[in-house]
Amino acid sequence: MRAMSRARVRPRRRPRAPAVAATLLTTATALGAVGAVPAAADSVGLPVVRSVLAEDDTCASVSGEKAKAEPWTLGSLGMSRAKPLSQGAGTTVAVVDTGVAEGAPALSGRVTALGAAGEDCVGHGTFAAGLIAAAPGDEGGPAGLAPQARILAVRGTDERGGSTAAQVADGIRQAADEGAQVIYVAVALDSGKSQLTDAVAYASGKDALVVAPVAPDALPRNTEPEPWYWPAAAPGVLAVMDYGPDGSRPADAPLVSGADLAAPGDAVVSIGPKGSGHFIGSGASFAAAHVAGAAALVRARYPELKAAEVSRRLTEAAYPAVPPRLDPYAALTAVPTDDKGTAPRPERAVVPPPPATEPRTRALVIAGVGGGLVLLVAAGAVVIPRGRARNWRPAGS
């Protein structure tokens, strides 16, 4: 988490439909890793989720296709290890997006909507909410990182996905007022610095962690990039970049810098606003949804942590890369580096007192006298017989 971050972005090149192929699922299913519209989605029959509807577009329809294998995203994030530790129970994640369909089966009973946010014509908000908190299906397939978390649906766009800084700022404030512990924002705007910075500060004051994409999912052709995008560049926001199944970013994705974390965001699969079928999508907004889900896991396991501490735990426990890559299991198990342990107190050495000198002196005297007597006796035993043999007499005799 930064005091200020820069996101330098280059516009995408025109997607080349036949040029992309990447592994989406843990089976051999091939998908396209692209930016806003996965070109190879047709290879598995999954419809593409949209972020904005064109004038002649209708609302998102029901998908008749399902992905039954586990998505590559869950394996990449090591969710099989993280799941026993936390599933987000007791936490609320606000989704500031196109809305979240209250009737989505994978989110049944866990969506609270503000105003008209319980309807999602576009489908982007429901897709993102599925990445965060969808319950796993009976037949396998995609699931959210925090399947026991609650979703607070907040409209941050108009009905067709268009958004302004005022709409997003209002959505952030509403989510904070409703007590959301994590606030996911789907959009990245090139204006609205003051409004969005103030909204983020308001949410931070209520101990809510704001998570947002560091840049748009895609840029129109021939569009000059802006140096910063909001609210990701605001102080206190956890800014997120995406990567794909092979660990790299698509060639047509915006080139960004200044992200706090990277997470799976390309060629990802999630739910739609109607029915039980699945959609496919790509972009930094979906990477941010994964980070929001991981934040819910941490807040559920460590409810005493403040929002800034949760952000720090996610970034410091991340896999070392540029930027660091999200690791939910490590975030749930890491020991913060600023927690100082108790220094060990060595036991005092016990030094025995020196031996008494008097007994030692007495023993030496006795030994010396005894040794002298022995020498005298030995000498006498040698000298006296020899003297007798030579008829020695004492002097004067």
**pLDDT per residue as tens digits for the range 183-236:** 999 999 999 999 999 999 999 999 999 999 999 998 888 787 788 999 999 999
> In this predicted model, what pLDDT tens digit does every residue of 156-191 receive, in sequence order?
999 999 999 999 999 999 999 999 999 999 999 999
Written as six digits, the tokens of 127 are: 């897709």
Beta strands, E only, 110-257: 111-113, 150-155, 182-185, 209-213, 238-243
Backbone φ and ψ for 241, nearest 5 degrees, come out as: -115, 160
Task: Name every residue whose Cβ is closer than 8 Å to that of residue 386 and which is 6 or more positions away in sequence.
Answer: none
Query: Could you tell me if 197 and 4 are in contact, meaning their C-beta atoms sit under 8 angstroms apart?
Result: no
> In this predicted model, what pLDDT tens digit does every residue of 21-54 receive, in sequence order?
333 443 333 333 333 444 334 445 899 999 999 9
pLDDT at 11 over 50: no
Higher per-residue pLDDT: 334 or 34: 334
Beta bridge partners of 154: 96
Give the integer Cα–Cα distance in Å for 3 and 323: 16
* pLDDT score at 140: 78
* pLDDT score at 225: 74
Backbone φ and ψ for 97, nearest 5 degrees, come out as: -160, -150
* pLDDT score at 39: 37
Give the integer Cα–Cα distance in Å for 136 and 106: 7
Give the integer Cα–Cα distance in Å for 85 and 97: 29
Query: Could you tell me if 281 and 48 are in contact, meaning their C-beta atoms sit under 8 angstroms apart?
Result: yes
Q: Where are the alpha helices (DSSP H) in 302-354?
A: 307-316, 328-333
Burial class (CB in 10 A: 0-12, 13-18, 19+), 29: middle
Q: Which residues are catalytic?
A: 97, 124, 285
pLDDT winner (highest mean) among 36-45, 80-89, 353-362: 80-89
Provide the 8-state DSSP code for 35: S
Task: Name every residue whose Cβ is closer than 8 Å to that of residue 291 and which is 6 or more positions away in sequence.
Answer: 211, 238, 240, 261, 263, 314, 326
Give the integer Cα–Cα distance in Å for 171 and 331: 28
Long-range Cβ contacts of 11-14 (<8 Å, 24+ apart)? 11/219, 11/220, 11/221, 11/222, 11/223, 11/224, 11/225, 11/254, 12/36, 12/218, 12/219, 12/221, 12/252, 12/253, 12/254, 13/251, 13/252, 14/221, 14/252
Give the integer Cα–Cα distance in Å for 67 and 31: 12
Q: Which of 76-90, 156-170, 173-187, 339-353 is predicted least confidently?
A: 339-353
Torsion of CA 268, 272, 278, 281, to 10 degrees: -30
Query: Could you tell me if 26 and 70 are in contact, meaning their C-beta atoms sit under 8 angstroms apart?
Result: yes
Burial 59-77 (b: 16+ CB within 10 A, else e): ebeebeebbebbbbbbebb
Nearest to 311 by CA among 341, 282, 286, 331: 331
Give the integer Cα–Cα distance in Å for 395 and 228: 126
* pLDDT score at 53: 95
Written as six digits, the tokens of 230 are: 């909001």
Query: Could you tell me if 307 and 204 are in contact, meaning their C-beta atoms sit under 8 angstroms apart?
Result: yes
Beta strands, E only, 205-306: 209-213, 238-243, 261-264, 268-271, 278-281
Written as six digits, the tokens of 231 are: 């609210």
pTM: 0.78
Placement of tokens 């990701």 in the chain: 232
* Alpha-carbon separation of residue 375 from 213, 296, 382 (angstroms): 102, 95, 11
